[in-house]
A = this chain, B = another copy of it.
Amino acid sequence: MENLNALLHAIGQRKSDLANKDFLLTWEQSRDELEQVLDIAAALKTLREKNIDTQLFNNGLGISLFRDNSTRTRFSYASALNLLGLTQQDLDEGKSQIAHGETVRETANMISFCADAIGIRDDMYLGAGNAYMREVGSALDDGFAQGVLPQRPALVNLQCDIDHPTQSMADLAWLKEHFGGLENLKGKKIAMTWAYSPSYGKPLSVPQGIIGLMTRFGMEVTLAHPEGYDLIPDVLEVARNNATVSGGKFRQVSSMEEAFLDADIVYPKSWAPWQVMQQRTDLLRSHDSVGLQVLEQRCLQQNAGHKNWHCTEELMKRTRGGNALYMHCLPADITGVSCEAGEVEASVFERYRIPTYKEASWKPWIIAAMIVARKFTDPAQALQHRLNVAQPRIKY
Is A53 a contact of B61 with CB atoms below 8 Å? Answer: no
Give chain B nearest CB distance to A362 CB in angstroms.
Answer: 9
Interface centre among A76, A103, A361 (most CB of B within 10 A): A361
Is A394 a contact of B381 with CB atoms below 8 Å? Answer: no
A143 to B356: give the CA distance in the assembly, Å: 12
Is B102 a contact of A357 with CB atoms below 8 Å? Answer: no
Is A82 a contact of B87 with CB atoms below 8 Å? Answer: yes
Specify the chain B residue showing the minimal Cβ separation from A72: B110
A304 in contact (CB, < 8 A): no
Is A102 a contact of B395 with CB atoms below 8 Å? Answer: no
Give chain B nearest CB distance to A378 CB in angstroms.
Answer: 8
A396 to B381: give the CA distance in the assembly, Å: 7
The residues of B that contact A83 with a CB separation of less than 8 Å are: 59, 114
Is A393 a contact of B354 with CB atoms below 8 Å? Answer: no
Interface of chain A residues 39 through 88 with chain B (CB within 8 A): 48-49, 53-61, 71-72, 75-76, 78-79, 82-83, 85, 87-88
Is A88 a contact of B89 with CB atoms below 8 Å? Answer: yes
The residues of B that contact A111 with a CB separation of less than 8 Å are: 71, 75
A334 in contact (CB, < 8 A): yes
Specify the chain B residue showing the minimal Cβ separation from A363: B113
Specify the chain B residue showing the minimal Cβ separation from A150: B49
Is B391 a contact of A396 with CB atoms below 8 Å? Answer: no
The one of B85, B110, B361, B392 that contacts A71, using a Cβ cutoff of 8 Å? B110
A179 to B376: give the CA distance in the assembly, Å: 35
A276 in contact (CB, < 8 A): no
The one of B114, B331, B354, B363 that contacts A148, using a Cβ cutoff of 8 Å? B354
The residues of B that contact A107 with a CB separation of less than 8 Å are: 71
With A55-B59, A395-B386 already in contact, the answer to whether A148 and B361 are too (CB < 8 A) is yes
Specify the chain B residue showing the minimal Cβ separation from A100: B337
A288 in contact (CB, < 8 A): no
A338 in contact (CB, < 8 A): yes
A77 to B60: give the CA distance in the assembly, Å: 13
A393 to B376: give the CA distance in the assembly, Å: 13
A394 to B84: give the CA distance in the assembly, Å: 10
The residues of B that contact A338 with a CB separation of less than 8 Å are: 102-103
Interface of chain A residues 337 through 393 with chain B (CB within 8 A): 337-338, 349, 353-354, 357-358, 360-361, 363-364, 375-376, 378, 381-382, 385-386, 391-393
The one of B57, B361, B394 that contacts A395, using a Cβ cutoff of 8 Å? B57
A245 in contact (CB, < 8 A): no
The residues of B that contact A87 with a CB separation of less than 8 Å are: 78, 82, 87-88
A147 in contact (CB, < 8 A): yes
Chain A 214-240 interface 0/1 with B at a Cβ cutoff of 8 Å (1 = within): 000000000000000000000000000
**A-B pairs, 8 with minimum CB distance:** A79-B114, A53-B58, A148-B357, A78-B89, A146-B354, A58-B393, A75-B111, A109-B357
A residues bordering B, Cβ < 8 Å?
A: 48-49, 53-61, 71-72, 75-76, 78-79, 82-83, 85, 87-89, 91, 93, 101-103, 105-107, 109-111, 113-116, 143, 146-150, 330-331, 334, 337-338, 349, 353-354, 357-358, 360-361, 363-364, 375-376, 378, 381-382, 385-386, 391-396
Sample of 30 A–B contacts (CB below 8 Å) = A54-B59, A55-B59, A56-B394, A58-B391, A58-B393, A58-B394, A58-B395, A59-B82, A59-B83, A60-B82, A61-B78, A61-B79, A71-B110, A75-B89, A82-B87, A82-B89, A83-B114, A88-B89, A102-B353, A106-B357, A109-B357, A109-B360, A110-B330, A113-B364, A114-B364, A143-B357, A147-B354, A375-B394, A378-B396, A385-B396
